[in-house]
Amino acid sequence: MLDPILIMLIGMAIVVGGIIQFKLHPVLSLLLAAIVVALLTPTASVEQFFIAKGGLEADALKQAHKSIGERIASEFGNTCAKIGILIAMAAIIGKAMLDSGAAERIIRGMLKITGEKNAPIGFILSSFFLTIPVFVDTVIFLMMPLAKAMGLRLKKNYLLLALSVIAGAVMANSYVPPSPGPLILVSAFNVPIGLLMVCGLLLGLCTITVGYFIAKYLNTKFDIPLRDSPDARLEDIKAIAEKDDSELPSLAWALLPAVFPLLTICIRSAVEAFHKSGTPLTSSAFLNQIFDIVLFFGDKNIALITGAIFALWVLARQKKTTKDKLTSFVQTALMSGGGIILITAAGGAFGGMLQQSGISVRIAELTKDYQMALIPLAFFITMIVRTAQGSATVALITASGILAGMAQNANLGFHPVYLCLAIGSGAKLIPWMNDAGFWIMCKTSNLTEQEALKTIAPMQSLMGLAGVILTMIAAWIFPMV
């Protein structure tokens, strides 16, 4: 029986070699790697994986004896279920905002506040605070078209703008509740949610500052232009950038397709995080009905569908386009989004097969008796699991499962909130082809795989490393015990 770590290394070699060396399409490389990993994984390991997830032994046995094709398709479908509608609707919103001039109007409004010189700072802060209540991929989908429009307007620094959007979003996703990962840590370590919010905000602002300077350096080192893509042709963006203000939609209409989903998702996230389910929100039946409507639209899929409808309405209103042209427009946007969905789902299938190989359990066994200080140990375990199987959430769950008991039994010289921050930092290392989020960031920004590995991966990893160093310093100076 092969060691899960060896299986992981074989899968990594197939993905990286297939894409970079043999120039295979990412979907083919990822699915091929998923097949090989599944072939090398014993049935007993798959069964144990489903039992560990809380399934009954009979159900786990049934899952383990499914064909490899069925298991890969299942993980592929699970990933599609999570991100399929989001990506498709975000593709429509992004293209509609670019073509209608809404993105250009928002850019002009932002420049009045930040000035051209500080535009990347506006992007990194916006993506950071928006990702606290909103799904990280949603923020990237909605903000990347703005980065493209700004890059064309400035005629420089596109990589800096794209990396700023990514830097802010990924750090908030690991540190600040009510993002899903931090909520898991709150439960596992019994840390007050308000305390993790404050500490996560402070650490997040520090790490995105580091990320900003890294992005500035990478922007000078790599001359990556803003490229043509089917959903965002440069000549179309340029033509819009040269328009007079009177030819663009008003700022309120321009913001509507993005702000409506963000606002409703924020409200729903806040209610789910702080309100006890099953009890009325207010004493007024009328207000409760209003809240029910808002919460309905706050579902991330419903919110993005509604945002896409608003985006198309703004486009039709601004360009006075015909129904046939609108149908053709949606078709083009969905073709672009469909490619991202396929790559992301294939990445999810590969990551799912790695998880079924027992890689997380194997790493837990290797590190359980490691006599290292708990904060760097938490970071190290999370980093290894994250790099091995791609999912930051799985890495958070694995590390919290290993360390929660140790933290409770050990005579800690610092508050457990620092362990949460160390785990959140470790979840940033190292993004590559087995991570669905990597493909989303890569494809929405129009970077090649090699460019993403040279820019997004090191920036994100260095921000995570800065996070754990700052966490250790804070635990030493302010132990809070």
pLDDT in tens, 137-149: 777 877 787 788 8
Distance CA 171, CA 307 (A): 25
- pLDDT category at 463 given cuts 50, 70, 90 is very high
Contact status, residue 167 vs residue 206, Cβ threshold 8 Å? no
106/35 Cα distance (integer angstroms): 45
For the ranges 85-94, 174-183, 217-226, 290-299, which has the lowest average pLDDT? 174-183
- The domains of the chain are located at 4-78+342-477, 81-341
* Residue 397 host element (H or E): helix 392-409
**Partners of residue 229 on adjacent β-strands:** 232
- 185 class by beta-carbon count within 10 Å (0-12 exposed, 13-18 middle, 19+ buried): buried
Taking only the tens place, the pLDDT of each residue in 389-431 is: 676 766 776 677 667 655 655 566 788 889 899 999 998 888 8
Summarize pLDDT for 223-278 with one digit per residue, the tens.
Answer: 887 776 655 566 666 676 677 777 788 888 888 887 888 788 778 877 776 776 66
Residue 180 confidence (pLDDT): 64
Q: Determine the average pLDDT of the residues in 441-469.
A: 89
The pLDDT value given to residue 460: 93
**Confidence grade of residue 462 (pLDDT, cut at 50, 70, 90):** very high
Q: Which residue has the higher pLDDT, 319 or 75?
A: 75
Q: Mean pLDDT for the chain?
A: 81
For residue 43, pLDDT beyond 80: yes
pLDDT in tens, 65-75: 888 999 999 98
Contact 288, 282 (CB under 8 A): yes
Higher pLDDT, 159 or 117: 159
- The pTM for the full model equals 0.69
H or E stretch at 437:
helix 436-444
Q: Residue 159 has which token pair? A: 């990589």
| Assigned token pair, 10 | 């074989």
Report pLDDT for 21.
76
Q: Tell me the pLDDT tens digit for each residue of 329-373.
A: 888 888 877 877 887 788 778 878 887 888 767 766 775 665 446
Note whether 204 and 172 are within 8 A (CB).
yes
Q: What is the pLDDT of residue 371?
A: 42
Q: What does the pLDDT look like over 160-202, one tens digit per residue?
A: 999 999 998 888 888 887 666 787 777 777 788 778 888 898 9
What confidence tier does 471 reach under pLDDT thresholds 50, 70, 90? Answer: very high
Percent over 90 (pLDDT), the chain: 15
